Structure 1
Amino acid sequence: MNKKIFKWSIIASFAGFLFGFDTVVISGADKTLQELWHSSDFFHGSVVMAMALWGTVIGAIFGGIPTNQLGRKKTLLIIGILFSISAAGTALANNPFVFAFFRFIGGLGIGVSTIAAPAYISEISPAKDRGTLVGLYQFNIVLGILCAFLSNYLLSDVGVNAWRWMLGVQVFPSVLYSVMAFTIPESPRWLFTKDKADEARIIFDKIGSKEDVQSIMDELQKNSSNSASHENIFIKKYRFQLILVFLIAAFNQLSGINAFLYYAPRIFEEAGLGAKTALLSSIGIGFINLLFTLIGVYLIDRLGRKKLMFFGSIGYIFSLSMVAASFYLGWTGMAVPIFLFVFIAAHAIGQGAVIWVFISEIFPNHLRASGQSFGSSVHWVLAAIIPSMVPILFTNFGVGNVFLFFAIMMVFQLLFVLFMMPETKGISLEEVSEVLVNK
């Protein structure tokens, strides 16, 4: 694997670390903030806890604009600034509305990162390594999740303002990421869409890919000449890609993954674990997530996207069904944590490893950011709605019924994988787009 490509991919994918940390760090402050501000379940779930996710929705919907207009590199820089502001602001907030505002800003950073980072990495990667390199983004997400769980645990005893330290510590990796982002070049494929073919060729030459640079440039020129300037992702020509992106993004959240990550300590307490044990079990979730993400990233260019999604779907159905059964039958002790460990492993090796890779591959060069924006928007709209409803759903329907619903949704995901999802392993971005348009 080319060292320069790997280095630039690592830097761009570090946006995923900030994404993962920001998403989960709130779980350590969940109950403290509800008690501190005397919030109702509805206000706490839909405003305090979910505001970052609504910011993520806006970032995902409109993130394609700076990614297309300013370029992948400048957009990645903006992401680091947004995370820095969010971390400092939430740590210093003195009421739920100010807190929610700065969480919203962090959410913008998450939403835009799900477009710019995978697009950038996919556009500098050779076909044979693209899954692994884009998968580094997901690896960094779960590394950020693990570090957030661990940080929350270590800071939980520092006093009544522990939640401020939990949230404020993210300033340091955010600033570090912003500095590193200065050192990467612009995406050559983006440069080509801006009629900067000479600059694109220079970067392709620097990459030193084994793929023939002239062949790539010819393919880009061919696709560019065939692409009308008025095209968008919603025309009939790209309907199949649009359906694929919609379904993989929707099923990601209908597994309950974000709902679980946001409320992991609360779910463990519902299962009968003490508060401290519940927080410690959350760290175990982070380690399992990291381990199986590594396995997924290793296998994605070997077994392919479709097989990983198949294995993940089977694991989802089993684990979610067992969690539901645990609550129905009153199984206590480590039953729920063990089945949730299996759930996280299934997610990490399947949806977690595949989603951002797959969405970054299937639209043509001139529509990639728009396609990713659509997929990210679907993902984050559901990621905002579902976790914001969790406190109410748990109270009114019971934890077991909620997890049973997630299990049923994963049966439908399995059918999607078996009968609709194409394999994109080892195929150039230009070839993938052409095949899917013809299909």
Structure 2
Amino acid sequence: MQSQRLEEVESKPKSNLFGISLIAALAGFIFGFDTVVISGANLPIKELWNTSPWFHGLFIMSMALWGTVIGSIFGGIPTQKYGRKKVLLWIGVLFSVSAIGTAIAQDPYTFSFFRFIGGLGIGVSSVAAPTYISEISTAKTRGRLGAMYQFNIVFGILIAFLSNYFLQGFDGQNDWRWMLGVMAIPSILYTIMVLSIPESPRWILSVKNNRAEAKRIMLRLGVEDPDAYISTILESDNKQDSTPKSSGIFTSRYRVVLWLAFLLLSLINGAGSILFYIMLRKY
């Protein structure tokens, strides 16, 4: 009896849920890194290309923010259509291209274009990565695994400041190119690591209707009873499809929750505004 139980335990695949979630959450690290690393290039590129304050602020420095807005608004479309893993992979490609492109840019227009590309990656990652993590995690682990994305954003900000500090004076007038180009290292590593993670089983089940593949991935993630979990997902999808549009999230039932979320995001964005002000005033 004991040997039979031992065989059953050994036959179960070991869960690597944390490692898979960490890889997806690394998109947050590059998010934070890309957001702050521009601080080291602010003054050098302004002097290099001799642009006006209006052009420098609205076009060059803000281009990544415009990309972030567009990416966050429309990022859900490819995430739902093509799958979470494919989008996470292309996010890594966008970050890599942006890092290399801005580092070798010879004029403000090329520089701004590649900054916009990086901004798109930031915006889409804010949609795809949390969605992926929430879908592969269990009810017990969803909170702490989802928080890794936010932690990595702050960690990326810290590393970007340290990177700029240590690269200052590295190559004279081209310091800023190294500061921006170094982001290609974590971006490429992230892209390679994304190749090893599975697709979201919920997306495969809900969009591709592939029950066997979804079950296989759930076993890899350590789900103890994948059949019961699949039934729960299908039941939830059917209930969502049968729910009238008039009873969606913008109803009195969710009014308090929506207001709390709105206020929380306002505080977070306010902190970000202060961070950008301090960051740019320093340089």
What TM-score do you get using the length of structure 2 for normalisation? 0.86
Whether 1:205 aligns to 2:219 is yes
* Equivalence for 2:241: 228
Distance 2:265 2:206 in 1: 26
1:340-351 correspondence runs (5 A): none
Whether 1:239 aligns to 2:250 is yes
1:231/1:29 Cα in 2 relative to 1: closer, same or farther (>3 Å)? farther
User: Deviation of residue 163 (structure 1)?
Assistant: 0.6
SS at match of 1:186: coil
Whether 1:114 aligns to 2:126 is yes
1:174/1:35 Cα in 2 relative to 1: closer, same or farther (>3 Å)? same
Distance 1:162 1:101 in 2: 20
Q: Residues 390-417 of structure 1: CA distance to partner in whole angstroms, max 9, x if unpaired?
A: xxxxxxxxxxxxxxxxxxxxxxxxxxxx
Preserved contact between residue 14 and residue 140 of structure 1 (Cα < 8 Å) = yes
User: Deviation of residue 27 (structure 1)?
Assistant: 0.9
1:275-354 correspondence runs (5 A): none
Preserved contact between residue 12 and residue 121 of structure 1 (Cα < 8 Å) = yes
* Equivalence for 1:183: 196
SS at match of 1:78: helix
User: Deviation of residue 227 (structure 1)?
Assistant: 2.5
- 1:249 partner letter: L
* Equivalence for 1:137: 149
* Equivalence for 1:249: 265
Q: Residues 289-347 of structure 1: CA distance to partner in whole angstroms, max 9, x if unpaired?
A: xxxxxxxxxxxxxxxxxxxxxxxxxxxxxxxxxxxxxxxxxxxxxxxxxxxxxxxxxxx
Structure 1 range deviating more: 220-229 or 42-51: 220-229
Preserved contact between residue 60 and residue 114 of structure 1 (Cα < 8 Å) = yes
Q: Residues 51-71 of structure 1: CA distance to partner in whole angstroms, max 9, x if unpaired?
A: 001001111111111110110
Distance 1:265 1:238 in 2: 37
1:128/1:163 Cα in 2 relative to 1: closer, same or farther (>3 Å)? same
- 2:108 partner letter: P
* Equivalence for 1:169: 182
Preserved contact between residue 24 and residue 261 of structure 1 (Cα < 8 Å) = no
Aligned partner of 1:126 among 138, 149, 173 = 138
User: Deviation of residue 40 (structure 1)?
Assistant: 2.8
Preserved contact between residue 27 and residue 264 of structure 1 (Cα < 8 Å) = no
User: Deviation of residue 31 (structure 1)?
Assistant: 1.9
- 1:161 partner letter: N
Q: Residues 353-399 of structure 1: CA distance to partner in whole angstroms, max 9, x if unpaired?
A: xxxxxxxxxxxxxxxxxxxxxxxxxxxxxxxxxxxxxxxxxxxxxxx
Q: How many residues align?
A: 263
Aligned partner of 1:55 among 40, 45, 67 = 67
Whether 1:214 aligns to 2:214 is no
Structure 2 spans left out of the alignment, 5+ residues: 1-13
- 1:182 partner letter: L
User: Deviation of residue 178 (structure 1)?
Assistant: 0.7
* Equivalence for 1:13: 25
* Equivalence for 1:152: 164
- 1:35 partner letter: E
- 2:235 partner letter: K
Preserved contact between residue 23 and residue 262 of structure 1 (Cα < 8 Å) = no
SS at match of 1:65: helix
Distance 2:173 2:89 in 1: 34
User: Deviation of residue 230 (structure 1)?
Assistant: 9.8
Where in structure 1 do 4 or more consecutive aligned residues deviate above 6 Å? 229-232
* Equivalence for 1:296: none
Preserved contact between residue 98 and residue 114 of structure 2 (Cα < 8 Å) = yes
Whether 1:259 aligns to 2:273 is yes
Identity of aligned residues (%): 51
SS at match of 2:16: helix
Distance 1:265 1:13 in 2: 25
- 1:223 partner letter: S
User: Deviation of residue 246 (structure 1)?
Assistant: 4.5
Structure 1 spans left out of the alignment, 5+ residues: 270-274, 276-439
Distance 2:263 2:250 in 1: 12
1:94/1:230 Cα in 2 relative to 1: closer, same or farther (>3 Å)? farther
1:193/1:146 Cα in 2 relative to 1: closer, same or farther (>3 Å)? same
